[in-house]
Structure 1
Amino acid sequence: MLKLEGLTTTFGKTCAVQDVSLSIPAGQFVGVIGRSGAGKSTLLRTINRLAEPTSGRVIWRDADMTGVSGSQLRDWRRRCSMVFQQFNLVGRLDVLNNVLMGRLTQTPFWRAVTKTWSSEDRALAFAALDQFDISGLASQRADQLSGGQQQRVAICRALMQDPEIILADEPVASLDPRNTGIVMDALALVNRQFGLTVLCNLHSLDLARGYCDRLVGMANGRVVFDGTPAALTDAAARELYGMDADEVIGPDRAAKPPVA
């Protein structure tokens, strides 16, 4: 179980995350929702220590992750893998080597520099790509792919870290509707088939309601809603999003269910 206890993160005089306390069972798919600037991205970055908490604790399986450093911090970031909005791939490298970069915490750095990965690592990378129907792209440069393809490559790279948690920070914000569905299906597959805990920042409430087991709504750095998608009524959404509510509620109330 992932536990956040009074988690607070400040930047100068700005308090981006304020006294957040949550308990997230292993294997749950959690959608983090709220307006831009609500603290969603900072919350995810604080969980895996890309942003340092000012106070509070991040606990995973009864171990406090807020005080670890060095090799223990690297191991925590391996187990708590990030998927970013802008993919963060190396455009000049082919897809296979981008995916294999996920093994850097578990293999000598010289293998990445010389591209002499072990046969076992290469097999794992091809298997990950095959899971998301993109193994045929292994030899293509990453910067030649569509946005949806690049994000699936980024998810494969995250899986190569052998994580227990996936933190997806606005993973579909820059994608068209078709690729949005493909990437959300990929995250659902990671959650359902591999049993990984997924925390995913989302702007669209249709997506959040259609894919997530639980929604956590944030406003001004605080958690102001925590419940099932069914419990987030349009009235509650309007209170959470204010004037932006009509934009995020959307006309389609029957979101496509995730893949099994």
Structure 2
Amino acid sequence: MLVVEGLTCRFGTKAAVDNASFAIEPGGFVGVIGRSGAGKSTLLRMINRLAPPTEGRILYKGVDVTALRGKELRQWRARSAMIFQQFNLVGRLDVLTNVLMGRISQIPSWRSLAQLWPEEDLAVAMSALEQFDMASLAAQRADQLSGGQQQRVAIARALVQEPDIILADEPIASLDPRNTKIVMDALLRINKHFGITVICNLHSLDLARSYCDRLIGMASGRIVFDGAPATLTEHIARELYDLEANEVMGATPADLPGGSTVTALGTAAAA
């Protein structure tokens, strides 16, 4: 279980995250929602330890993650794989090598620097690419791919880390509707097939309600909602998003997993 206790991150006098507390059971698909600047990205970066907490603790299976240093911290970052909005691929390297970067924590550094990857790691990376229909592009430079293809490569890279948790920070923010569905379906498949916990920052409330089994709502750095999507009322949603509510609650129906649709207020209906 992942437990967050009183987690706070301050930049000067401003609290980007303010006294956040929650627990997540293994295997959940949790959406972190809220308007831009609510603290969603900082929260995920603290869980991965890319951002240092000012106060509070992160516990995973009883281990104090906030106290980890050196090798143990590197291992934690492998177990809590990050997927970023801007993909964070090395554009001049081919797709397969970018995916293999997820295995760095498992091999001696000289091997990764010389790109002398063990056969087992090569097989794992190719298998991950095949799951996302990207194996045919393994030899292509990453900067020649579309945004949706790059994000699928980033997800494959996270998967080969063999993580317990995937932290996806606005993974579909720069994608068109078609690639948005492809990427969200990929994250859902990882969650259901491998039982990997997914914590995903999402700006779209409709998407969050469609894919997630639990929502954590943030406003001004504080958690103001934590519960099942069905319990998030329109009133609470408008409090979370304020002036952005009409935009994030969807003006037109969108495709959902399993062939349902979402109405303007995010309720599911059979297609």
Short-chain TM bin: over 0.9
Q: Which amino acid aligns with 2:128?
A: A
Deviation at 1:4, TM superposition (A): 0.3
Deviations 1:55-101 (A, max 9, x none): 11100011111111011111111101100000000000000000000
Matched, 1:115 2:115: yes
Check conservation: 1:29, 1:197, Cα contact below 8 A: yes
Deviation at 1:251, TM superposition (A): 2.6
Deviation at 1:254, TM superposition (A): 6.1
CA spacing shift, 1:253–1:209, aligned 2, 3 Å? farther
Q: Which amino acid aligns with 1:168?
A: A
Check conservation: 1:95, 1:139, Cα contact below 8 A: yes
Please list every run of 5 or more consecutive structure 1 residues that lacks an aligned counterpart in the other structure.
none
Q: Which amino acid aligns with 1:85?
A: Q
1:127 aligned residue: 127
Please list every run of 5 or more consecutive structure 2 residues that lacks an aligned counterpart in the other structure.
260-271
Partners in 1 of 2:111 and 2:178 — Cα distance? 36
CA spacing shift, 1:66–1:141, aligned 2, 3 Å? same
2:84 aligned residue: 84
Deviation at 1:236, TM superposition (A): 1.6
Q: Which amino acid aligns with 1:71?
A: K
Deviation at 1:110, TM superposition (A): 2.1
- Identify which range, 220-229 or 250-259, moves more after superposition: 250-259
- Identify which range, 232-241 or 90-99, moves more after superposition: 232-241
Partners in 2 of 1:186 and 1:239 — Cα distance? 31
CA spacing shift, 1:233–1:62, aligned 2, 3 Å? same
Partners in 2 of 1:104 and 1:116 — Cα distance? 11
Check conservation: 1:88, 1:154, Cα contact below 8 A: yes
Check conservation: 1:95, 1:140, Cα contact below 8 A: yes
- Summarize the alignment of residues 32-181 of structure 1 with structure 2, pairs less than 5 Å apart: 32-181=32-181
CA RMSD of aligned residues (A): 1.2
Q: Which amino acid aligns with 1:70?
A: G
Q: Which amino acid aligns with 1:202?
A: L
Deviation at 1:253, TM superposition (A): 5.4
Aligned-partner SS, 1:30: strand
Check conservation: 1:210, 1:254, Cα contact below 8 A: no
Partners in 2 of 1:31 and 1:255 — Cα distance? 18
Deviations 1:90-126 (A, max 9, x none): 0000000000000111112222222221110000000
TM-score by length of 2: 0.93
**Percent identity for Structure 1 against Structure 2:** 65
Partners in 2 of 1:70 and 1:113 — Cα distance? 19
Deviation at 1:12, TM superposition (A): 1.4
State how many pairs are aligned: 259
Matched, 1:203 2:203: yes
Which of structure 1's runs of 4+ aligned residues deviate more than 6 A? none
1:182 aligned residue: 182
Q: Which amino acid aligns with 1:41?
A: S
1:230 aligned residue: 230
Check conservation: 1:206, 1:252, Cα contact below 8 A: no
Matched, 1:10 2:10: yes
Q: Which amino acid aligns with 2:145?
A: L
